[in-house]
Amino acid sequence: MSFTKSAVLPVSPDEAFALITEPERLRRWQTVSATVDLRAGGSYRWTVTPGHVAEGTYREVEPGRRVVFGWGWDGNPDLPKDASTVTVTIEPAPEGSKVTLVHEGLTEDQAAQHAEGWNHYFERLERLAATGDAGNDEWAWAPENLTPVVAAWAALAVIQPVLRNLTPADRPKPTPCANFTAHELAEHLLASLVQLGGMAGANLSIPAEGSLEDKVSVLSGQAIDAWQGIDLEGTVPGAGGSDVPAMFLASILPLELLLHGWDLAQASGQELRVSDEVVGYVHDLTRGVIAQGRGSSFGNELTPSADADAVERFAAYAGRTPIHA
């Protein structure tokens, strides 16, 4: 079976093509992370929502006009990589561009499931093209079946809008993370992601080009993917060569992303939208990490205000005070 979906976007065909192919654009409406080799024979890997990774091979690429790619899901034997085909065509329209997606090679159940997904994401695509902001995707920031890896993806999803909206004027502003300006904290986060990826065996480096959101998204995706392949019930080499429980180190990923995302949101006067379930999971997961780091990475536990939300209570546990408390 197949599924077809069309939308008219108030943008040029070239911009419409960019929205459906470029990682930075894809992260604004459809994915948390995207790796793309945009050429016939090149591959892609999209973390659409935490724990759900679409992957396939590009078969045809005509910039500004058409892209055809195989579609499947990592770890899904019923619809593996390249098991179905997605064709997206772009045509000039009086209002801008008409984008038509045809997804073929699906069973009846798969077509129904993918129809729900494509309808959801096309609505976000239309909103992004019309307003410049698709908004937070609840499918990404409030996932079910949380694990350290899934929580890290969710934390990345919720901090991406904050990172995207930081301005040069925010760089020297203080953050709730003691003695760190927003710029210094951003540099610290990038370095931490490189280090955390290295603990899982990945050789990472901070990208030389791109926005902060782009750099954090790329490094986070690489680090999280590396931890995806680690047995969290086992151990990994730690500093000095000693073995450390893998679960302990993996839990630092969602902690770093969520807490420093909140720090940067506070510094820049933004709201960090995150589900209570994700915050509660990360809070419980990282109690040992925070307790061990008190006096260095974390301050003493503070008493949150009576009206504090879940993330503010978590920050208080880590020794943080809101900027405008």
* pLDDT per residue as tens digits for the range 160-201: 999 999 999 999 999 999 889 999 999 999 999 999 999 999
Note the pTM of the prediction, 2 decimals: 0.94
Q: Does position 257 have pLDDT exceeding 70, yes or no?
A: yes
What sign has the CA pseudo-torsion 280, 282, 287, 291? Answer: negative
Query: In terms of DSSP bridges, do strands 66-73 and 52-62 run parallel, antiparallel, or are they unpaired?
Result: antiparallel
The pLDDT value given to residue 40? 98
- Measured distance between the N- and C-terminal CA atoms of the chain, rounded to whole angstroms: 56
Q: What secondary structure does DSSP assign to 205-221, as a single string?
A: ---SSS-HHHHHHHHHH
User: CA–CA separation, 65 vs 92, rounded Å?
Assistant: 9
User: CA–CA separation, 310 vs 205, rounded Å?
Assistant: 33
The pLDDT value given to residue 281? 97
Contact 66, 87 (CB under 8 A): yes
86 three-state secondary structure:
strand
User: Considering the domain boundaries, does residue 323 fall inside one?
Assistant: no
Q: How confident is the model at residue 242 (pLDDT cuts 50, 70, 90)?
A: confident
Long-range (24+ apart) CB contacts under 8 A made by 61-69 are 63/14, 63/17, 64/13, 64/14, 64/17, 64/90, 65/13, 65/17, 65/89, 65/90, 66/90, 67/17, 67/20, 67/21, 67/38, 69/44
Of 102, 131, 160, at which residue does a domain stop? 131
Contact 14, 64 (CB under 8 A): yes
Of 85, 108, 131, at which residue does a domain stop? 131
Q: How many distinct structural domains can be found in the chain?
A: 2
Of 105, 131, 157, at which residue does a domain stop? 131
Q: Does position 209 have pLDDT exceeding 80, yes or no?
A: yes
Containing 69, the helix (H) or strand (E) segment is strand 66-73
Q: Does position 325 have pLDDT exceeding 70, yes or no?
A: no
Containing 72, the helix (H) or strand (E) segment is strand 66-73
Q: What secondary structure does DSSP assign to 257-288, as a single string?
A: HHHHHHHHHHHHT------HHHHHHHHHHTHH
How does pLDDT run across 110-165, given as a tens digit for each residue? 999 999 999 999 999 999 999 999 998 989 988 889 999 999 999 999 999 999 99
What phi and psi, each to the nearest 5 degrees, are found at residue 152?
Answer: -65, -45
Section 251-277 average pLDDT? 97
For residue 26, what are the CA distances in angstroms to 19, 32, 35, 144? 6, 8, 10, 22
Q: Kindly report the CA angle at 131 between 167 and 267, in degrees rounded to 5? A: 25
Q: How confident is the model at residue 244 (pLDDT cuts 50, 70, 90)?
A: very high
User: Considering the domain boundaries, does residue 322 fall inside one?
Assistant: no
How does pLDDT run across 223-237, given as a tens digit for each residue? 999 999 999 999 998
Which residues span the domain enclosing 202? Answer: 140-317
User: Considering the domain boundaries, does residue 272 fall inside one?
Assistant: yes
User: Considering the domain boundaries, does residue 324 fall inside one?
Assistant: no
Q: How confident is the model at residue 23 (pLDDT cuts 50, 70, 90)?
A: very high
Residues 201 and 293 in one domain: yes
Q: How confident is the model at residue 62 (pLDDT cuts 50, 70, 90)?
A: very high
Which CATH number is 223's domain given? Answer: 1.20.120.450
User: CA–CA separation, 99 vs 6, rounded Å?
Assistant: 6
Residues 153 and 294 in one domain: yes
Q: How confident is the model at residue 101 (pLDDT cuts 50, 70, 90)?
A: very high
